[in-house]
Structure 1
Amino acid sequence: MDMKDSKLFSPLKVGSLTLKNRVGMAPMSMDYEAEDGTVPKKLADIFVRRAEGGTGYVVIDAVTVDRNYQYIGNTTCLDSDSLVPQFKEFADRVSAAGSTLIPQIIHPGPESICGFRKIPPLGPSVNTNANCHVSRSISIDEIHTVIRQFGAAARRAEEAGCGGISLHCAHAYMLPGAFLSPLRNKRMDEYGGSLDNRARFIIEVIEEVRRNVSADYPVFLRISGDERAEGGNSLEDMLYLAPKFEAAGVNLLEVSGGTQYEGLEYIIPSQSKRIGMNIYEAAEIKKVVGIPVYAVGKINDIRYAADIVERGIVDGVSMGRPLLADPDLCSKAYENRFDDITPCGSCGGSCITRSAQSPQCRCHINPLVGREYDFPDVPAKKPKKTLIIGAGPGGMYAAVTAAERGHNVTVWEADDNIGGQLNMAVVSPGKQEMTKWLVHLNYRAKKAGVGFEFGKEATVEEVRRFAPDAVIVATGARPLVPPIKGTKEYPVLTAHDFLRGRFVIPKGRVCVLGGGAVACETAETILANARPTAFTRGYEASIGDVEVTLVEMLPQLLTGVCEPNRAPMLRKLKKGGVQINVNTKILEVTDHDVKVQRGDGTEEWLKGFDYILFGLGSRNYDPLSESLKEFVPEVHVIGDAVKARQASYAMWEGFEAAYGL
């Protein structure tokens, strides 16, 4: 299909607004918000850049109607007329870039962080949020006040020149979503009990919004097509309510799914979740309304999006993380340049997970998120003969960046293929999508003329003979085997080698030392490989039952892994009968036994294992840089060669080092 002729890239009328295409940017928490409720330039730039890239509309997340009830940090506000001028500047920038701005108007309700200021959050009933703050049941008078606040905020959005507004009533989350869901709403008045009563709040909000804006001013509504939780709202409930939302004044329905606390992996479907998580529910809802219906939730391939729109399954799509990965996704797709699209790997990384090192929204594969205009796409002032040592994610990103800026780039890789440790990371079930990153970087590298030498072990003398102007050392990391008693006396097996296929575990009892991503993915892969019903010839060839034990020193497994990935993996491990030992320190190993110390100080032997694997992480590996600095004019060390971390740091540092050449 030529995208220029596709329905996805045809206009769509939504109320008084005509969208130029049917791709919207879904709301996402960014953590670039300002303390005073305004929209700082860095945050606005993210949306303007996606507008420049051809996106039909962009939704800014969580614009509150009352600053006294902040969302999950600094919160953008439209609770005062004084905020309209700065919001208008933002909306005008988006419009000038060829798109339209849609603020998501919210009251965080139970999810407010106001509890940190000793102010109880407001909820339909008593609920406990992620911060262990307990909401109080909002009174009828307060309900009416909040409804008026929604109307006033919508008026301000229209005055600011926004193309429309969006309301959030999904995921049993924030005030409207909490009212609608039986999982949160336990009231015994006219706003509780029956489905109609639970929907009363959001319908009254929609009606108040309509009274405060002009006729046909677009109102979008996000709903969960199915909360996918026992006792939650079902698709049947939404089929009943959707026409009522339309009658109240909604112009477009955006169908998501899941609930915030019971099933975050359905809201932000990451590894192992199928593409188009909510397409079925959206298609069914489309049958009962006369307004456009968009789907959201792991629609991470623009050709898939075009197909479901072309077939009339939905009217359009909302895309979040794919537009972080590539702000020009729409314009590249329109030009049928699919290989040029930087792909989202559904990794659940720093777009979702925050840390002290990365407290704001970033993207593994796009180092420019949050600094959209800081690195102009211009050629280097002076081309340099550049050597990249290592073809993992960081080395590949460095090679691509340097070559695309005009440098003469050669990559030496000791292995026989690209990928580095990512070759190990994609082995466990559900992680295949991250291969997209290296497929894309390999395509760009070849297009830019990068030279590769595989099976090439870099040495100081080899580099001296090559005589580069600049070297980027991306030699990665090696498995960490701490000096635990017994590691010198007995053979050591590592989870890294297992995931690389250097040995197999056909059956038996296995102890994996560690509880981070590598250890847990090793356990998951061992279970996945155990196929006792598979056809085999002879006992020695058979694959049989396995028993897996994990030993982790920390209080929990998968610390630092995003919840949409962590929760499903924990369920798989428990379902597979994995014996989980946390708060447990490893004291000694033999060929079949492990001595541990429990959290209470007691010691014991875990005995009778056929395999003991070390999955305790990695240690940086940089045997070259200091020597190279003696004769190479410019030497940079990036990624795990500096410190073992996520692949994102390698790619970000690879980009910056190469850009700075």
Structure 2
Amino acid sequence: MRRELEPLFTPWKIGNVEVKNRIVMTSMGGTDLLGWMENNHFDKAGAEFILQVAENNVGLVLPGCQPVYNPMFGQWLHQNKRMYRDLAAWMPEFHKTGAKLFVQLTAGFGRSFSVSPMMEALYTNPVLRTLSKPFMDLDMICASASASPNRWSDKVPSRALTAQEIQRFVYSFAQSAKLLQEAGVDGVEVHAVHEGYLLDQFTLPYVNRRQDEYGGSLENRYRFATQIVQAIKRECGDDFPVSLRYSVVSKTKGMRQGALPGEDYVEVGRDMAESEKAARLLQDAGYDMLNCDNGTYDAWYWAHPPIYMPENCNLEDVEHIKEFVDIPVVAAGRLVPEVAAEAIAEGKLDGAGFARQFLADSEWVTKLTEGRDEDIRPCILCHNGCFNLCHYEGVPNDQDLSDSLHMARCALNAQTMQTDKHHIKRADRPKKVAVVGGGVGGMEAALVLKERGHDPVIYEASGALGGTLIQASAESYKGKLRDLLAWYRHQVEKAQIPVHLNERVTDLDALMADEVIVATGSTPILLPVPGAEKMVEACEFLDGAPVGERVVVVGGGLTGCEIAYELHLQGKRPIIVEMKNDLVAQKGVCLANSSYLREYFALHQVPVYLNATLKEVFDGEVVVEQDGRSVAIPCDSVISSVGYRPAPLKGPKRSRKRVRYVGDCAGVGNLRTVVWGAWDEAMKV
């Protein structure tokens, strides 16, 4: 292990509980031990993942948050005694790893609950609203500190919780914590005065307008959170540690309005001056640790940083708040291990929190200690598999139901939280398999085939492995994607998979193989407008094609917006033209990612033409039609980013070989569809 990392692997204490090292896996919805958005039960899939993480040198593990009031079916967490007995039977196996386990308990989501179109239909139809109440009581699930708009939908507003309902939550926290203590759990974490969840909504002035003992003064607004820890301590004793998930600063300008890094703004939530007082108040109430980052659901990119956010984005604020408390403080948010280790060595931090990196590679801490950094599959902060709650103009949470019910999967690691579907099964009869295309789909398929015992060979038409990941990782802020590209190339080399570069396959039947996997990707769509030949295609730009100062980007989807973002970072003047009514109006892109880009363009006054259709490209300008009128936009260059279509290499109709298609050549998607699809096909060989 590198010397600079050693401070991460020193023991520390939370209350009377000693933790073997400073690495903390912070909680992620879906990695739950007692069920997620379903009937409460001991969850074997969650336990399998948690155990795998614990076996790989993590000090403290925090499973996914457990609502004390289950959004589905309205169960109180303390009522199902059997699952605690199942948990107790499993805890000795967990403790063999030497790790400690704190189960995170949450009061719920309040106005941040991710309302979907189906939920809107249930709520707005009086009959359906009544019929659905026993299994989804949206009136209760979305209740907040005060009547407020939902973060995702204007059709399902939040009402104010009553004082009596608040006490039911407090009671369930205490009873659930006691059952967890009796099951052998090392502590609990209260979720959360953090991220704009329900408990946090009580603390935030822009949400809480109550006139009773839970509103107004700082002490009143934090009363719900302090009553919870006091009730737990009464039930479990002072020696049972209680951590608090805590947002140091809200970074919020208003309802559905975040504040970007470096932005000059007026804080409507918790500012640093209040946080200094609140942190001491919460410590004095009985909390034994603060597990910190920043943000709310209105400024979601702080708590769920996309790749556009700076590394260690919350660390400075967390280091500051540590000066005001005597209890341990953990930081999370794009932490770089070396930077966290330095902060711990200097006494500015007690624990280093990581989350999604564990989904990408549950063994990454072990690999770090063994000096195998090149074998760590990196998290690229895409949220495609783990938390793809997406939102755009006129649409609530546009997320597939399967994703809502099965979070904490990983776009890059098909096995994470779905080993029932994706697991290595050795081949009964090894085959020689030709993989045509050396992009992500081809490399992933080849790696799975090799692990299964087959003999894959990759044929790549260009001079390097990577496919469009080469272009996708070219932008200045895409370091994590460049790490992923390096990881794939290293894994292919390490697996000793033969690679034929600069070899374009035209005849699948001529390949010396038993089966063929085609992973030839896609080709760009070119708009049939006059002057189209004057445009630079997106991948050409990412490959280095020069552009002028004023650049029109045609297409305001994720790729187009990321190109416009890169152009602005370069000091150029991008202009976005999008035919839909919002930017990044596409499924699968997490709101944390898309809201950053939208708010960045708004802050920096990047011109955006929505509901606009490109009509013609001239030297020095483009003409678009917007709302029935023709608009000329002066520019120096035009970049086309309007999408792609599959480009499969077809085999002969009566081929002697079985041909399978993976990646974008089978259907244009994202890295998740490519990786998971490659697994699906490679497992069929």
Confirm or deny: 8 A CA contact 1:63 1:75 kept in the other structure.
no
Asked whether 1:582 is paired with 2:626, we answer no
What letter is aligned with 2:548? P
Matches within 5 A, 1:246-395: 246-261=283-298, 263-299=299-335, 301-354=336-389, 355-356=399-400, 359=403, 360-361=406-407, 362-372=409-419, 375-376=422-423, 380-395=427-442
In structure 1, the residue matched to 2:543 is: 500
Q: Which amino acid aligns with 1:255?
A: C
Residues 150-209 of structure 1 show CA distances to partners (whole Å, capped at 9, x for unaligned) of: 212211221232221101233352332112222322223333223233222211211111
Superposed counterparts of 1:121-520, under 5 Å = 121-130=142-151, 131-132=153-154, 133-171=156-194, 173-229=196-252, 230-261=267-298, 263-299=299-335, 301-354=336-389, 355-356=399-400, 359=403, 360-361=406-407, 362-372=409-419, 375-376=422-423, 380-460=427-507, 463-482=508-527, 484-486=528-530, 491=534, 493-501=536-544, 503-508=545-550, 510-520=551-561
- Contact kept? 2:555, 2:576, Cα under 8 Å: no
The alignment partner of 1:444 has SS state of: helix
Q: Contact 2:378–2:480 (CA<8 Å) still a contact in 1?
A: no
- 2:328–2:350 contact (8 Å) kept in structure 1: yes
Shift of residue 467 of structure 1? Answer: 0.6
Segments of structure 2 that go 5 or more residues without pairing to the other structure are 124-136, 253-266, 390-398
Change (3 A) 1:593 1:285: closer
Partner of 1:55: 58
Deviates more, 1:403-412 or 1:374-383: 374-383
How many pairs align?
631
Q: Distance in 2 between matches of 1:506 and 1:592?
A: 10
User: Displacement, 1:583?
Assistant: 2.6
Matched with 2:671 is 647
* Alpha carbons 1:429, 1:524 under 8 Å: kept: no
Q: What is the distance in 1 between the residues matched to 2:488 and 2:682?
A: 14
Which residue of 1 is the match for residue 27 of structure 2?
A: 27
Choose which of 571, 579, 582 in structure 2 pairs with 1:552.
Answer: 579
- Deviation per residue, 1:318-360 (Å, 9 max, x gap): 2110000111122222333222221111223221215338623
C-alpha distance in 2 between matches for 1:5 and 1:197: 42
Q: Which AA in structure 1 matches 2:591?
A: E
Give the TM-score, by structure 2 length: 0.84
Confirm or deny: 8 A CA contact 1:388 1:412 kept in the other structure: yes
Match of 1:559, as an amino acid?
Answer: Q
Shift of 1:559: 2.7
- Counterparts of 2:150 and 2:105 in 1: how far apart (Å)? 20
Report the 3-state secondary structure (helix = DSSP H, G, I; strand = E; otherwise coil) of the residue aligned with 2:290: strand
Q: What RMSD in Å do the two structures reach over aligned CA positions?
A: 3.0
- Change in Cα spacing, 1:349 to 1:213, as seen in structure 2 (3 Å) is same
Counterpart code for 2:512? A
Q: Which moved more, 1:74-83 or 1:511-520?
A: 74-83
Q: Distance in 2 between matches of 1:182 and 1:471?
A: 61
The SS at the match of 1:168 is strand
Aligned partner of 1:119 in structure 2 is: 139
Q: Secondary structure of 2:639's partner?
A: strand
- Name structure 1 gaps, 5 residues minimum: 532-545
1:458-517 alpha-carbon deviations (Å, 9 max, x no partner): 110xx55541223221111110125x35378x555422322222x311234x43322211
Instruction: Deviation per CA, 1:73-129: give whole Å up to 9, x if none.
Output: 688852315353344356455445554432211112444579944625432222222
Q: Is the 8 A contact 1:55 1:99 kept in 2?
A: yes
Return closer, same or farther for 1:180/1:492 CA change in 2, 3 Å cut-off: closer
Task: Answer with 211-220 or 192-201: which moved more.
Answer: 192-201
For residues 594 and 5 of structure 1, the distance between their equivalents in structure 2, rounded to whole angstroms, comes to 53
Question: Taking structure 1 as reference, are residues 197 and 329 closer, same or farther at Cα in structure 2, changes over 3 Å only?
Answer: same
Change beyond 3 A, Cα 1:119–1:548: closer
Per-residue CA distance 1:511-533 (angstroms, 9 max, x = gap): 332221122223233333446xx
Range with bigger deviation, 108-117 or 401-410: 108-117
Q: Report the Cα distance in structure 2 between the residues aligned to 1:564 and 1:231, rounded to whole angstroms.
A: 19
Q: Tell me the TM-score normalised to structure 1 length.
A: 0.87
Change (3 A) 1:12 1:659: farther
Query: Residues 558 and 523 (structure 1 numbering): CA distance in 2 closer, same or farther, change over 3 Å?
Result: farther
How much does 1:379 deviate? 5.2
Cross-structure match for 2:644: 618
